[in-house]
Every structure is written in C-alpha cells, then in structure tokens.
Amino acid sequence: MLQYTIRRILIMIPMLLLISVVIFSLAKAMPGDPLSGKIDPLNSDPHYIADMREQLGLNDPLPVQYARWVGGLVQGDLGESFRHKREVSDLIASRIPNTLLLAVMSLVITYIFAFIMGSYSGRKPYTLGDNLIAGFNYLGIAIPSFVAAIVCIYVFSIQLQWFPATGSVGSGVEAGFGYWVSKLKHTLLPALVLGLLSTASYTQYLRNDIIESARKDYVRTARAKGTKESKIYNVHILRNSIIPIVTLLGFDFAGLLGGAIIIETIFTYPGIGYLFIDAVNGRDYSVMMAIAMILTVFTLLGNLLSDLLYGVVDPRIRLD
C-alpha cells in the first residue's frame, strides 16, 4: 500500500505540470489585459503604462512568465489580486472555509438520503415507495442544478422564508453560537440543492446492487439456515453494497468543490466558486489561475483517496 501511495503521488507531479500549462495558456488566451486591473485608471500616460508593464513582467516571453508563476506556486506565493488589492493566498484562505463547509454538508446529505432511499428501494422493489423514489431520482438527474437552485430560492426563501437566499452569515451577527447558527442556516439550502441532486445516482446504484445481491447463493444459504430477514439485509447484503459507494468518497468531495461554482454563484455564497466566477468576469488572472490549480489538486487528491479506500474497505484488493 505504501509503495502504491508513493507511486501515485509521483505520477501526480507530471499531471500537475501539464494541467498548469493548460491553465496558464487558457488564461493568456482570454480576451483583455491583466494590466488594466493593476494600473491607475485615471493615468493614461503611455510612459506610465509601459513602465508598469515592464515592472510586472508582462513584456517577458510567455515561458519566462510561466516559470515565474509556477515558481511562485511552489513557494506558496499565489500572486496578488488586481481587483481585491490583496494577496491571493489570503483571499482564498478567507473563502475556502465556506466552500469546505458547503461541500461537507452536501456530502453528508447525499450519503444519508442515498442510504435511506437506496436501502428501502432495494429491500422493497416495485412497490409504491420504490416508484416514488425512482420518480425523485429521475427528477434529480434531469433537472439542472441552476434550475433547482432558482426554484428552491423562490419556494423556500421568498415564499416560505425558511432560509436566507444569499450570503454565508447574517449581517451584524457577531462571533459565537449565534454566528454558527446563522452560518449553518445560510449554508443549508445550497447544500440541500447540491447534495440532493447527487443523491439520485447513488440511490439507484444502491437499490440495484441490493436487488442483485438478494439473489446470490450466500443469501439463499443464509435464508435456508433460518437467518432473520433483517439480519440478511442489514449485515450480509447492505454491508457489501455500501463498499463501492464509500470508495467514491474522494471523487464526490472533489466533484462537489468544482460543482459548487454554479451553486455558490446563484446563492451569492462567498466561497471559492463564487470568487472564481468573479475573477473570470473581472479578468483577475492570478486569482483565476490559483483557484483552478487548487481545484485540480483537490481532484487529484480525491482520486488518490478513492483508490486507497478500495484497499481499506475491501482487503481482497491488493494495491501493492
């Protein structure tokens, strides 16, 4: 396992370099000039603009600019935000706790609902309850996340006023218990949208796997021995069916971080997803490239975690 982990980490290095080249190239290919956000908008003196371009290294060849950017990344220097006039690392550090909270809550919601609905449908297939859950799954798969988010804001925030429609915490709320209550209340609705949309596929997968496992020889043997039906499902079938879903935890977490971009933008939720869209719109290249690289690292680490979990939850798998 240790050798496999080290080998996988070493493979990630060239992948990160390749992705960094793609991100840098795409950023440079975007329309607009990064200098426009850095200079004084009231000063249009050509000499001033030329001096600033030289000072910022924008006249350097692209390979030199790329090497300078990657060198900064390795040393933890993500550059400075042109729009926010502060270090990118500080800016992202102030936003990423919100995104992590949103992703964790979404993940918990996904697994709880998928476990409850999938185990019920698998145990009682082709019943009214199973059909209702299947209908929910079809809606969850078919409805785009931004449509679901807008509908939820209209119903639960505007009409019922159960949840705030924007932000991550109420205005004027001071640190303490009330602060966290307000934060959870602001995060719950976007987390529900993000989590429930991901629930459909897992529910369907768990249902089908339970139905298939119930027909296998070891289950028939357990029934022949007089084992209680509840023990057969809860111990023999459900435990085996959950293993593949648990191993996808890393993929899920990385996917939620990327998928939160749309949800955070619609809910005006101040996470790194909303910051990324703001950076793209404002041509804030340093922020945009830094967030893209961070999401890439999270994705690769999520893939690594998923592969390692295979060996942890199922000892039959040998990764060495």
Report pTM.
0.81
Q: CA 16: distance to chain centroid?
A: 18
Residues of the chain with pLDDT under 70: 32-44, 247, 250, 259, 311-320
- Say how many Å lie between the first and final Cα of the chain, rounded: 5
Note the pLDDT of residue 179.
Answer: 86
- Element containing residue 164 per DSSP (H, E): none
Report yes or no: 305 and 9 within 8 Å, Cβ to Cβ. no
CATH of domain 96-270: 1.10.3720
Q: What pLDDT does residue 84 have?
A: 81
Residue 130 CA, distance from chain mean position: 29
Give the contacts of 241 (CB within 8 A, at least 6 positions apart).
Answer: 122, 206, 209, 210, 213
- Burial grade of 116 (CB within 10 A; 0-12, 13-18, 19 or more): middle
Residue 173: what pLDDT?
A: 77
pLDDT at residue 73 in the model: 87
Say how far apart CA 295 and CA 138 lie, in whole Å: 29
253: nearest Cα among 115, 118, 106: 106
Q: Could you tell me where the DSSP H helices lie in the chain? A: 2-29, 46-55, 62-74, 88-123, 128-142, 145-152, 177-213, 217-224, 229-231, 238-246, 249-266, 272-281, 285-313
C-alpha span between 23 and 68 (Å, rounded)? 14
Give the C-alpha separation, 75 to 82, whole Å.
Answer: 20
Q: What is the pLDDT of residue 189?
A: 92
Q: At which residue do the structure tokens 């939160």 appear?
A: 260
Entry field: residues in the chain = 320
The closest alpha carbon to 290, from 147, 137, 92, 114, belongs to 92
- String of DSSP letters for 91-120: HHHHHHHHHHHHHHHHHHHHHHHHHHHHHH
> What's the CA gap between 198 and 190, in Å, rounded?
13
- The letter for the amino acid at 190 is P
CA distance 167 to 304: 33
CB of 2 closer than 8 Å to CB of 319: no
Q: Any idea which residue has 């679901």 for tokens?
A: 148
Which backbone phi and psi does 80 adopt, to 5 degrees? -120, 140
The conformational region for residue 33 under phi > 0 = left, psi -120 to 50 = alpha, else beta, is beta
Helix or strand holding residue 33 (H, E): none
Q: Is 103 within 8 Å of 190 (Cβ atoms)?
A: no
The full set of domain ranges for the chain reads 96-270
